[in-house]
Structure 1
Amino acid sequence: MRILIVSDTHKAHGNLERVLQMEGPIDMLIHLGDVEGRADYIEAIAGCPVHMVSGNNDFFSDLPWEEEFFIGDHHVFITHGHGYFVGMNEDKLKAEARGRGADIVMYGHTHMPALTIEADLVTLNPGSISYPRQKGRKPSYIMMEMDPEGRAFYEIRYLV
């Protein structure tokens, strides 16, 4: 199973369209917020099931603030992250994820990619595919792949 994880597109979808083309068929798209009214468009171009949450710039959105679901045996918790003060650190977010029994937590908001793999919890942020803020400012996303045994593998990828 191939899962594309993105965040913070802010109405700029050129890079998302490019990544969808480059990565070929995917089985799921996860968008971690700040779609700014373009949720329908993102769902239309994905060509697969989509999980999407609302971000701090998604005013008047019907998208949920958070979502929990399973990918195989993995309990996934997704949120934009601003409500957990992820701009400061991941502590509150990780505590919430563990409290919910999640073993994978995904967030956006910071526009900087991050991936931490601990024994009981994977915490990831794909950064921003449209407006990156990390050093070098390359648009980023995460590809998550699951093997037939249900093991998950993650890779932060950059557009050049």
Structure 2
Amino acid sequence: MKVLLVSDSHGKGNLLNQIIERVIPDHVIHCGDFCTDRDELPPVSLTIVKGNCDWEDVPEEDIWEGAGLRFYVTHGHNLRVKTSPLPIKYRGEEMGAQIVCFGHSHFPFCEKIDDVLLINPGSISYPRGFAYPTFACLEIVNKQVKVTYHQIDGKEIHERGGIFSF
């Protein structure tokens, strides 16, 4: 199964559409700050949460299950993701998730702490503390997750990501 993970598109739906067309994912997770009307989002299998800049009535956190794994999805602004990964890791554990997806910091992050994989895809529009906009792809086979990071044009960012087993 291929999952596309994006965040912080801040109204740049055209970039999101281009990425989806290139990646052709089975499911898309958007970690908030999409900053557009919900009906302008692509008509694909999609889990979306509300970021601190969003106005649409969507959940602030959600659970998605796929490929035998449970994903906790939130923007992260209420869990202090810019200062420590621990509050969001603990919330993911409370939600029974193996994978926690979040945004808000606009910085790509991927780390497994204990039995919880934390993934921030960065921002596809306005990176902070990183040279270029990013998104993440998850390839899941038999509860093994390969996380790769990419620039908007699809070029892989080799210094981020990894392979994680559950």
TM-score between both structures, scaled by the size of structure 2: 0.85
Q: Distance in 1 between matches of 2:91 and 2:112?
A: 16
Counterpart AA for 2:139 = E
1:133 aligns with 2:114: no
Counterpart AA for 1:144 = L
1:109 maps to what in 2? 104
2:6 maps to what in 1? 6
Per-residue CA distance 1:115-155 (angstroms, 9 max, x = gap): 0023401000000001111231x1100001112x2322111
Q: Distance in 2 between matches of 1:101 and 1:14?
A: 34
* Cα drift, residue 69 of structure 1: 2.3
2:140 maps to what in 1? 146
1:49 maps to what in 2? 45
Answer yes or no: is the 8 Å Cα contact 2:28–2:45 preserved in 1.
Answer: yes
Q: Distance in 2 between matches of 1:62 and 1:130?
A: 22
What RMSD over aligned residues (CA atoms) do the two structures have, in Å?
Answer: 1.5
- 1:128 aligned counterpart, secondary structure: coil
Q: Distance in 2 between matches of 1:87 and 1:26?
A: 28
- 1:159 aligned counterpart, secondary structure: coil
Counterpart AA for 1:13 = G
The farther-off stretch of 116-125 and 50-59 is: 116-125
1:81 to 76, 79, 84: 76
Q: Distance in 2 between matches of 1:8 and 1:49?
A: 18
Answer yes or no: is the 8 Å Cα contact 2:13–2:40 preserved in 1.
Answer: no
Q: Distance in 1 between matches of 2:84 and 2:38?
A: 28
Structure 2: 5+ residue stretches without partners? 154-166
Structure 1: 5+ residue stretches without partners? none
Structure showing the higher strand proportion among its residues = 2
Instruction: State the number of aligned residues.
Output: 153
Counterpart AA for 1:39 = R
TM-score between both structures, scaled by the size of structure 1: 0.88
Q: Distance in 2 between matches of 1:92 and 1:135?
A: 23
